Structure 1
């Protein structure tokens, strides 16, 4: 039978109730306006009829798939955000109502050119192609779309081809001695987080949401149920990090926290949560080319230098999303653990003053911060 408009006792809002080709429906219209509710009824009935006749794969739209991806734990960054004017923006808004079925590489590239006409290749990949592919992969896993390899923009080639851009910290690797000088000038809490970044290659957002239940210290393995790309992945723990995780996981809950013990907030600017600590370390050391994302580039580069196979490196960094990778998310893999352990640890990193008791010293501040202990010492 067709859908009907009904009102529940004690509520002014209208609801849709009925059965469309065997599917029971009871949906809130979110409005008390009868005319608006009737318009929604007609659209929903047509959508459900189209879906049951042609199948979910031929009817689901990108914004519907994006909503499902976000609901499953995927990042909404560049997909669905609220702009400065209070209106929603992002790829899900641009592709609202666009069906996944039949969507082509040509259409994707045209949209990228329209939205990012002057952007560099890396910016397009990060802000456009990566979130699009994450949603598509989630839809494919749910059976709503075919598995498909979407092409990324090509990198410039040749000695005469250059991309002119302002240098930005975090866009290039560094060496571990240099990084140790920088991290050693931070308070323990952010220093511990930066240490984990430099010896796992994880994304900052992944460490900010890391819970003690995800860390298997004896087997040297971290399991993320949902990563940035919306798929679970396993991460090997460097032997150097074992005492750190053993200590911090004792309190349960969020592994890495602010000096006062609160979990780091999850914001759009992943890595910006320790901006104050980063700026402080820059002032103390004069080093300005280290940031949270520097660690990921450094791990990737060091693994290549150490001769680690590209497939193993990509597994560690979470770049591989094939079925076999997902199947072994929860299972510690020795080749990955051996590979991460090829990264050598500078002695200066091992001798940082908080290393003997990470949990007990996590609330301390580096001299010269907080209540300005440096000034008190001068007065004394």
Structure 2
């Protein structure tokens, strides 16, 4: 049976219990007892009507969240991050899951985590499963504060490369001169690099579309100096490949974490602050735009889905237009 209760330090009444095998745990959003009782009655009526339509009138009931997840995966959906959500929503009818409950799941599963993490591990997979099941409820995601692209000048980049340990140095050179995402580079196999043609192919990318790219001479030189020619190109100091993400570990999502300690140490030795491994991609994009002033070419080369995603590189490079602006004709006489 469904009933009202209050948590310690929470003024609002909550609904909890099971009715017709439908588990419910949600806030009423009100501290007023009569109002909460009205909402409780409404939820009991809603669940009862759904049960009557399915069990008594023969209408096909909505699938449970667990059934919707199975269907979603069978259609090729991404299964990662779904297991903790299944523990919470398993038996709930898919059309009975609301925003407030998903917000509650986010607070319960990932307290204090960033909006980007919550969106990636909670709101995006929930939205995908609901959409796959034909539920039109729009799931609001957490607003992310976009960080301004951090990039290095060529002088700073050289300082960073020089400060890297021997195993990290070729990887950083590769990242700076290809704009590869860390995960695209970290497990790149030699099969996809042709040093004679100075070309690299990325068969698996974030947007799902493979892409190829010419290699800068410095990247070719860095790769050519490596002693092995099979398997993963980039290796740890012990010569072994970097460990791949653990599909069973929902928190293991960042390729950059594999090199974070060594990368951070190199930045400190180089005197470079607030620079992450992914910022090598920003550096490459900034340099690319400075040279070519072509957002479409940058979009294709970097594997972005839209021009909006690369337009920020035009803004951060506005200072590089100073010489061209100052070279415009003067209106002063003589």
1:244 alignment counterpart: 222
CA distance in 1, matches of 2:123, 2:220: 36
Q: Do the aligned partners of residues 119 and 308 (structure 1) sit closer, same or farther apart at CA in structure 2, a change above 3 Å counting? A: farther
Indicate which of 287, 291, 294 corresponds to 1:308.
294
Within 5 Å, give how 1:338-377 maps onto structure 2.
Answer: none
Would the alpha carbon gap of residues 96 and 200 (structure 1) be closer, same or farther in structure 2, given more than 3 Å must change? farther
Change (3 A) 1:113 1:291: same
Question: Greater RCO between the two (CA within 8 Å, min separation 6)?
Answer: 1
Partner of 1:224: 203
How large is the RMSD of aligned CA atoms in angstroms? 4.7
**2:192 is matched with which residue: 214, 227, 235?**
214
Report the Cα distance in structure 1 between the residues aligned to 2:93 and 2:193, rounded to whole angstroms: 39
- For 1:318 and 1:95, the matched residues in 2 are separated by 36
| Structure 1 Cα separation of the partners of residues 87 and 299 of structure 2 | 31
**Residue of 272, 280, 288 corresponding to 1:287:** 272
Contact 1:182 1:287 in 2 (8 A): yes
Give the CA deviation at 1:236: 1.4
| 1:275 equivalent in alignment to 2:260 | yes
String of CA shifts for 1:337-380, please: whole Å, max 9, x gaps: xxxxxxxxxxxxxxxxxxxxxxxxxxxxxxxxxxxxxxxxxxxx
Instruction: Tell whether 2:247 aligns with 1:264.
Output: no
Which deviations, in whole Å up to 9, do the C-alpha atoms of 1:64-121 show, x marking residues without a partner?
5348758xxx683xx15xxxxxxx53x5656657899x899xx579735862697665
Which residue number in structure 1 is paired with residue 170 of structure 2? 192
For 1:1-380, list aligned pairs within 5 A: 61-62=68-69, 64-66=71-73, 76=80, 79-80=81-82, 88-89=83-84, 96=90, 111=102, 115=106, 121-128=115-122, 172-176=149-153, 177-217=155-195, 218=197, 220-225=199-204, 227-228=205-206, 231-240=208-217, 241-248=219-226, 251-267=229-245, 268=252, 269-305=254-290, 306-309=292-295, 311-320=296-305
SS in 2 for 1:183: helix
Q: 1:208 to 1:289 in 2, by over 3 A?
A: same
Q: TM-score, normalised by structure 2?
A: 0.51
Change (3 A) 1:97 1:64: farther
Q: Give the direction of change, closer, same or farther, for the CA distance of 1:112–1:187 in structure 2 (3 Å limit).
A: same
Higher CA-based Rg: 2
Check whether the contact 1:212–1:254 (CA below 8 A) recurs between aligned residues. yes
Question: Could you list the runs of 5+ residues in structure 2 that have no partner in the other structure?
Answer: 1-59, 61-65, 246-251, 307-334
Partner secondary structure for residue 280 of structure 1: helix
> What's the CA shift for 1:317?
3.5
In 2: Cα distance, 1:271 partner to 1:302 partner = 22
Q: Could you tell me whether the CA contact under 8 Å between 1:63 and 1:92 is conserved in 2?
A: no
In the TM superposition, what whole-angstrom CA distance separates every residue of 1:18-68 from its partner, at most 9, and x where no partner exists?
xxxxxxxxxxxxxxxxxxxxxxxxxxxxxxxxxxx9xxxxx9723553487
Q: 1:180 to 1:246 in 2, by over 3 A?
A: same
Shift of 1:262: 0.6
Structure 1 residue 312: deviation in Å? 4.1
Counterpart Cα distance in 1 of 2:105 and 2:299: 31
CA distance in 2: counterparts of 1:178 and 1:224, whole angstroms: 31
| Aligned-pair CA distance for 1:283 | 4.1
Preserved CA contact (<8 Å) 1:200 1:235? no
Q: CA deviation at 1:199?
A: 2.0
